[in-house]
Amino acid sequence: MKTFRYVTIMILSVLLLASCKKSGYVNCIPSDATLVVSVDFNELATKADLRNSHLNEIVDQYLGLVVFGEGLDKAKEYIDKPETIGIDFREPAYFFRTAGGEFGATLCVHDESALTEFINVLVKQDICTKPSEKNGYQTGTMFDDIQYGYDGSTLLLVASLEGGRSRQMLSSFMNQNDNNSFCSTDNFEKMVEMKDKDIILYSNLGVLGNDVKQMFSSVIPQGVHPADVEFFGSVAFENGVARLTAEFEGANDKTKEMLDDIDKNFYKITGEVAEDVLLDKTLIWGNIGVNGEWLLDKMKKSKELKQMLFVIERAVDVEAMIRSIDGDVSIAAPLSILEDQEGVPDFSLKAHLKSTSFLNDVKDWMEAQKDYGIVMINTAPDEYVFEYQHKPVIWAVNKKVLTMASYTYYTKDDTYYSEYLEQIPNYSVFFLINLQTLPLKEKAGLPDFLGFNEKIDKLKSFIIKASSAHEWEVDIELTDKEQNFLNALI
């Protein structure tokens, strides 16, 4: 919670002060930074068309509640002409986190006198303390927790999780040379190559929270640490879509072997059964191409998934089924999974099999089920129905394709998915949430502030896809493919 607080305050500080052709301001980022984020505020403002946005009316309406005295007129001037702050907005601002847990933000100064005047306005608003000179730069405190420093080229903000370290670290960062800077690393060069994106980041899985680390624990083998998995990410707000990309790299041979092993066991989706699983009002539609034996091994390393397998084993030998998978797995769940219901949620699943030998053991399964009060009925050749958690479940095998579904499911040709059926053969993973089906307004329960309800209706789908273990992408799509995503929602 404290980390979130510092990051939030840091962003607010940059926006208040809201990068120059000189690279000096980037030298403040230490070479061992575990997270570096580049944000092109100028491009974001252009895409959102902020100068013509109705947000200006909201700002004018509420500005007087947070700014008092002579500062109000000055604040309006800065909002109307942000370049008068003394910060150059034509280059990105950088946010970073150090190996020691400090958070920082650095921007390029193009007019130190103008920045000093702006700082003095903040001083009168009790936002920061009056700056004093130290080692060739001006320094002070902002929002009680953030140390700031600036000179003719750089504005640096630093916050530390350990009280008292901010001033010391700010001095160290302001005076470090190129060799100790992140801009001397290959990782920075890679970020520069991605400069056409609105937001760019470098990090590793080690900086993520414990919950996220746990998600990856089943695929990360012993001896590989989350920090060894580095990634470069980007966010681009385009017409009709917000596109988030992540490119994963191994920091050492063991990590590279892990990523190669994942690639070896994930296959390109053929799409042959993808359409067959679609339901009326499908909410979630997922497709992967995978080696079942490898998948089962990873599932059993997860405590939660292992427990789930154990429970399902009372009805069918699900491990034998998963082990037999080799190729496409497609699954869909309808909107009804959000409703309070007993038993197994509605779903539909199909999977390609390399072997159907587990069918020889079905009679033994039926005998073992009696110990748990489960009765499975043979309704057709290689087709069975059993009741599980108060709901009938059907499963069948036909021409090496496994079908399993809640008994109430039915397929339906839905034109919503036609364009995606053409896309999925390019990927090994393709999961989609139909936001048009999801009752976002009702679930959010928010008042129609800033036209929220009208804007949320513009959201079409949320997609996670991967072409390999190294390359992942998240798309948030709009119904209107011609309007810029940011402009549509701001």
Give the pLDDT confidence of 438-465 residue by residue, as tens digits. Answer: 876 554 555 555 566 778 889 999 999 9
| Whether residues 173 and 50 fall in one domain | yes
| Whether residues 237 and 280 fall in one domain | no
**Mean pLDDT throughout 317-332?**
95
pLDDT digits (tens, 9 = 90+) for 220-238: 787 788 889 999 999 999 9
- The domain tally of the chain equals 3
Q: Which of 148, 165, 136, 146 is nearest to 107 (CA)?
A: 148
Task: Categorize the per-residue pLDDT at 68 as very low, low, confident or very high, splitting at 50, 70 and 90.
Answer: confident
| Whether residues 246 and 183 fall in one domain | no
For residue 202, tell me if it sits in a domain.
no
Task: Categorize the per-residue pLDDT at 7 as very low, low, confident or very high, splitting at 50, 70 and 90.
Answer: very low
For residue 307, tell me if it sits in a domain.
yes
Percentage, residues of the chain above pLDDT 90: 54
Q: What is the per-residue pLDDT for 18? A: 43
**Mean pLDDT throughout 477-482?**
95
- Identify whether the C-beta of residue 217 lies closer than 8 Å to the C-beta of residue 298: no
| Domain-terminating residue out of 373, 406, 439 | 406
| Whether residues 26 and 169 fall in one domain | yes
| Whether residues 141 and 169 fall in one domain | yes
Confidence check: pLDDT of 14 > 60: no
| Whether residues 262 and 329 fall in one domain | no
Q: Which residues contact 318 (CB under 8 A, 6 or more apart)?
A: 309, 312
Q: Which of 142, 194, 191 is nearest to 167 (CA)?
A: 142
For residue 170, tell me if it sits in a domain.
yes
Helices (H) then strands (E): counts for the chain = 17, 20
Q: Which residues contact 350 (CB under 8 A, 6 or more apart)?
A: 273, 276, 277, 328, 329, 330, 331, 401, 402, 403
For residue 198, tell me if it sits in a domain.
no
For residue 427, tell me if it sits in a domain.
no
Q: What is the per-residue pLDDT for 217? A: 67
Structure tokens at 156: 């640096």
| Whether residues 53 and 96 fall in one domain | yes
Give the Å distances, CA to CA, from 444 to 183, 339, 407, 434, 448: 42, 15, 31, 16, 11
Q: What is the per-residue pLDDT for 218? A: 66
**Containing structural domain, residue 376:** 275-406
| Whether residues 9 and 128 fall in one domain | yes
Q: What is the per-residue pLDDT for 19? A: 36
Q: What is the per-residue pLDDT for 401? A: 96
For residue 77, tell me if it sits in a domain.
yes
For residue 411, tell me if it sits in a domain.
no
- Identify whether the C-beta of residue 181 lies closer than 8 Å to the C-beta of residue 26: yes
**Mean pLDDT throughout 264-286?**
91
For residue 55, tell me if it sits in a domain.
yes
**Mean pLDDT throughout 90-106?**
92
**Mean pLDDT throughout 4-23?**
46
Residue 467: phi, psi to the nearest 5?
-95, -20
| Domain-terminating residue out of 406, 440, 461 | 406
pTM of structure:
0.86
| Whether residues 453 and 400 fall in one domain | no
Q: What is the DSSP string of 69-101?
A: TTHHHHHHHHHH-GGGGSB-TTS-EEEEE-TTS
Q: Which of 97, 114, 205 is nearest to 157 (CA)?
A: 97
| Whether residues 11 and 128 fall in one domain | yes
Q: What is the per-residue pLDDT for 12? A: 47
| Whether residues 303 and 368 fall in one domain | yes
**Mean pLDDT throughout 209-215?**
65
Least confident of 24-28, 164-168, 286-290: 164-168
DSSP-derived 3-state class of residue 151:
coil
* Angle formed at CA 324 by CA 317 and CA 400, multiple of 5 degrees: 105
Of these ranges, 117-121, 413-417, 438-442, the one predicted with the greatest mean pLDDT is 117-121
Q: What is the per-residue pLDDT for 305? A: 84
Between CA 136 and CA 112 the distance in angstroms is 13
Q: What is the per-residue pLDDT for 188? A: 94
Mean per-residue pLDDT of the chain: 86
Q: What is the per-residue pLDDT for 483? A: 94
Task: Categorize the per-residue pLDDT at 341 as very low, low, confident or very high, splitting at 50, 70 and 90.
Answer: low
**Mean pLDDT throughout 148-155?**
95
Q: What is the per-residue pLDDT for 22? A: 44
| Whether residues 42 and 68 fall in one domain | yes
How far from chain centre, in Å, is Cα 457? 21
DSSP-assigned letter for residue 346: P
